């Protein structure tokens, strides 16, 4: 359905004194998503995972230059086509009710989203009411303002904004931080159901444990690049390929709670060689000089010279 | 000892009580976890203990004395969202200096890059700014820390990294820490004692 290959994004910024700075925010990113699957995109802040959503929605800032290829349903995804598809074939489930208009009740707002995809006013209203009922939202929710929603209700309203569209690709950007565990699992279940109904779902999150509850596959981002694409079960069977993915997994409180020290490299001056070399236990001269390409390994993908099955 | 004695709080005279008759105490060097269902006022408890909100009934004290009205509070609160905790018009250097002289070794441990110092908060990502907010309060004037979902928006590796530094500081300086979180397994890692409200 969706395929990205060697996507790179560079921001040009001007400092005081008009010194030009190039910020390489995404470097050779690869990802594909099929209908019916949940692909989780996990990584630290600054790993480029939210920018990926912006690229897919055609909302990168003016100073961004993009290279590489994106295709959606077999056709190139140009910034122009992104804008045409946005809200119709490709939708975003926003992070919080902060994205809704605070001065307007939520029913009409979701209805407006449904109308954008070509439904009549009456059909859109019916669709919204049906969706709210399906998610167990009381009928009066239609007439509530965003601030009147509890955390759990807010999540259901936000998921509804995707459900009332016929979108084939749904992007959920950080849908769970700081929520109560029950609300987290409910939100994840809703995303899983969207995929089971035949849509493709990209779940962007920093929370690997949450992602693993529903993801078919997990793409791990580091410093703007894909370092590994693994099946969800690879985490539990010790089949992880990249040292960073292994470190992320080890650092969970339910595992060893042991971090790798250090930081992602500075995007203004990406180092030569592998982007993970400063923190890697396996680094050697080859890694210091050359940047590894993404390669297939054990039914998954890894960007590392020394990863073995 | 930081003590909350029979604390009551509500956001308005007609509104239901958010915090009802909660008492707790944390000793220097102790790490206390607070687990509670949503809507139980965990965040409000954190704000009462750190003097952000005044209790309507009951009292908060450090070694028997109420919290100071002016100057640096010995009880420091860190929330989930750092944007709310820092002055948006200050540069990072100034924000950090609020907690005393810059401690370069500590900044390096937190991965705070020297070239962030001249930037403004909106020029850092949420995760980067959170490290600044935490580093700022790890100073000798802080005696108690209330960490309310402090690392909920960070990836697992950064979370573990930050807690390693904070726990080390807390043990060395004999600081009392209250960790408020939804995450049972995180609290089990961090705490000497967990309070289930
Ligand atoms: S390429 Fe080298 S430095 Fe990079 S992750 Fe693999 S072993 Fe580590």
Residue B156 lies in a domain: yes
Cβ of B38 under 8 Å from any chain A Cβ?
yes
What's the average model confidence in pLDDT over A206-229? Answer: 94
The band of A194, judged by pLDDT with boundaries at 50, 70 and 90, is: very high
Asked if the Cβ–Cβ distance from B155 to A208 is below 8 Å, we say: yes
Option in A183, A206, A258 nearest B155 (CB): A206
Tokens, residue A51: 């920018």
pLDDT tens for residues B145-193?
999 989 988 899 999 999 999 999 999 999 999 999 888 899 999 999 9
Per-residue pLDDT at A22 exceeds 80:
yes
Among A274, A275, A307, name the best residue to mutate to test ligand 1's pocket (greatest count of ligand atoms within 8 A of Cβ). Answer: A274
Asked if the Cβ–Cβ distance from A178 to B154 is below 8 Å, we say: no
Residues of A with CB under 8 A from a CB of B: 42-46, 150-151, 174, 177-183, 206-209, 247-249, 251-254, 257-263, 266
Residue B17 lies in a domain: no
Query: What's the rounded Cα separation, in Å, for the pair B130 and B151?
Result: 8
Q: Which of A23, A253, A279, A281 to mutate to probe the B interface, most B CBs <10 Å? A: A253
B115–chain A nearest CA distance, Å: 10
pLDDT tens for residues A226-255?
999 999 999 999 999 999 999 999 999 999
Query: What's the rounded Cα separation, in Å, for the pair A225 and A206?
Result: 15
Q: Distance of CA A3 to CAs A57, A80, A102, B51, B129, Å?
A: 14, 17, 36, 52, 33
Which pLDDT does position A290 carry in this prediction? Answer: 96
What's the average model confidence in pLDDT over A206-223? Answer: 94
Asked whether the beta carbons of A52 and A29 are under 8 A apart, the reply is: yes
| Residues of chain A contacting B154 with CB distance shorter than 8 Å | 44-45, 206
CB A231 near ligand 1, within 6 Å: no
Tokens, residue A17: 């004194």
Residue B71 lies in a domain: yes
CB A243 near ligand 1, within 6 Å: yes
Which pLDDT does position A45 carry in this prediction? Answer: 80
Tokens, residue B133: 């907010």
Per-residue pLDDT at B99 exceeds 80:
no
Residue of A205 and A263 predicted with greater confidence: A205
Residue B4 lies in a domain: no
Residue of B103 and A232 predicted with greater confidence: A232
Which pLDDT does position B38 carry in this prediction? Answer: 66
Atom of ligand 1 minimally distant from the CA of A284: 2
What's the average model confidence in pLDDT over A207-235? Answer: 94
Residue B146 lies in a domain: yes
Residue B21 lies in a domain: no
Cβ of B164 under 8 Å from any chain A Cβ?
yes
Tokens, residue B50: 């750190």
pLDDT > 90: percent of chain A: 60
Cβ of B159 under 8 Å from any chain A Cβ?
yes
Quote the ligand 1 centre to A297 CA distance (angstroms). Answer: 15
Q: Distance of CA A162 to CAs A78, A112, A133, A266, Å?
A: 22, 12, 15, 35
Which pLDDT does position A168 carry in this prediction? Answer: 94
* Domain at B192, CATH number: 3.40.50.300
Residue B148 lies in a domain: yes
Quote the ligand 1 centre to A202 CA distance (angstroms). Answer: 27
Dihedral sign of CA atoms A31, B152, A215, A109 in order: negative
B187–chain A nearest CA distance, Å: 9
Query: What's the rounded Cα separation, in Å, for the pair A298 and B3?
Result: 56
Asked whether the beta carbons of A42 and A214 are under 8 A apart, the reply is: no
Per-residue pLDDT at B7 exceeds 90:
yes
Give the domain range for residue B132: 29-51+65-196
What's the average model confidence in pLDDT over A113-124? Answer: 89
Planar angle of CA A150, A140, A195, nearest 5 degrees = 65
CB A283 near ligand 1, within 6 Å: yes
- Count of domains in chain B? 1
Per-residue pLDDT at B35 exceeds 90:
no
pLDDT tens for residues A247-302?
999 999 999 999 998 888 888 888 899 999 999 999 999 999 999 999 999 999 99
Among protein residues, the one with the nearest Cα to ligand 1's atom 6 is A304
Residue of A152 and A68 predicted with greater confidence: A68
Per-residue pLDDT at A162 exceeds 70:
yes
Give the count of Cβ contacts less than 8 A between chain A and B: 85
Query: Model pTM?
Result: 0.88
Which pLDDT does position B2 carry in this prediction? Answer: 97
pLDDT tens for residues A61-103?
888 999 999 999 999 998 889 989 998 899 999 877 778 888 9
Which pLDDT does position B39 carry in this prediction? Answer: 65
Average pLDDT, chain A: 90
pLDDT tens for residues B104-136?
888 888 888 888 899 898 888 778 889 999 999
Residue B95 lies in a domain: yes
In sequence order, which residues have a C-beta less than 8 Å from that of residue A128 and are 6 or more positions away? A107, A110, A111, A114, A142, A160, A164
Q: Distance of CA A128 to CAs A77, A120, A145, A147, B58, Å?
A: 29, 12, 15, 19, 47
B3–chain A nearest CA distance, Å: 26
Which pLDDT does position B73 carry in this prediction? Answer: 92
């Amino acid at each position: 359905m969706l395929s990205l290959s060697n996507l790179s994004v560079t921001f040009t910024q001007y400092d005081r004194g008009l010194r030009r700075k190039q910020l390489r925010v995404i470097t050779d990113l690869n990802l594909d998503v099929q209908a019916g699957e949940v692909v989780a995109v996990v990584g630290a802040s600054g790993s480029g995972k939210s920018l990926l959503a912006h690229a897919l929605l055609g909302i990168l800032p003016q100073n961004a230059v993009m290279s590489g290829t994106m295709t959606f349903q077999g056709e190139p995804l140009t910034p122009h086509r992104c804008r045409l598809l946005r809200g119709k074939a490709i939708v975003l489930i926003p992070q919080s009710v902060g994205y809704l208009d605070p001065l307007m009740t939520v029913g009409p707002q979701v209805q407006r989203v449904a109308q954008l995809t070509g439904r009549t006013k009456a059909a859109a209203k019916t669709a919204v009411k049906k969706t709210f009922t399906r998610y167990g939202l009381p009928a009066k929710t239609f007439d509530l303002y965003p601030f009147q929603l509890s955390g759990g209700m807010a999540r259901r309203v936000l998921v509804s904004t995707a459900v009332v569209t016929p979108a084939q690709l749904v992007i959920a950007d950080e849908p769970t931080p700081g929520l109560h565990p029950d609300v987290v699992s409910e939100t994840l279940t809703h995303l899983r159901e969207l995929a089971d109904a035949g849509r493709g779902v990209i779940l962007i999150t920093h929370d690997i444990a949450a992602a693993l509850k529903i993801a078919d596959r997990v793409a791990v981002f580091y410093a703007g690049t894909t370092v590994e694409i693994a099946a969800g079960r690879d985490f539990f069977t010790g089949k992880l390929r990249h040292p960073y993915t292994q470190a992320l997994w080890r650092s969970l409180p339910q595992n060893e709670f042991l971090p790798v020290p250090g930081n992602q490299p500075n995007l203004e001056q990406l180092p030569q060689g592998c982007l993970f070399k400063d923190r890697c236990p396996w680094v050697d001269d080859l890694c210091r000089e050359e940047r590894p390409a993404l390669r297939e390994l054990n039914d998954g993908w890894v960007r590392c010279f020394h990863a073995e099955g | 000892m930081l003590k909350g004695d029979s604390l009551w709080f509500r956001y308005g005279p007609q509104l239901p009580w958010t915090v009802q008759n909660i008492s707790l105490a944390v000793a220097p060097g102790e790490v206390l976890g607070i687990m509670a269902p949503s809507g139980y006022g965990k965040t409000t408890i954190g704000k009462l203990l750190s003097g952000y909100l005044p209790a309507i009934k009951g009292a908060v004290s450090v070694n028997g004395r109420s919290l100071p009205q002016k100057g640096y509070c010995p009880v420091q609160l860190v929330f989930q969202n750092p944007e709310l905790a820092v002055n948006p018009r200050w540069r990072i250097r100034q924000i950090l200096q609020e907690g005393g002289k810059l401690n370069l070794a500590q900044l390096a441990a937190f991965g705070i890059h020297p070239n962030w110092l001249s930037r403004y908060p909106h020029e850092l990502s949420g995760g980067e700014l959170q490290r600044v907010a935490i580093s700022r309060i790890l100073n000798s004037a802080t005696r108690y820390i209330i960490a309310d979902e402090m690392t909920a928006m960070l990836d697992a590796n950064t979370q573990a990294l930050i807690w390693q530094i904070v726990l080390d500081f807390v043990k060395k300086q004999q600081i009392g820490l209250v960790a408020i979180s939804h995450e049972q397994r995180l609290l089990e890692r961090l705490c000497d004692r967990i309070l289930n409200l």
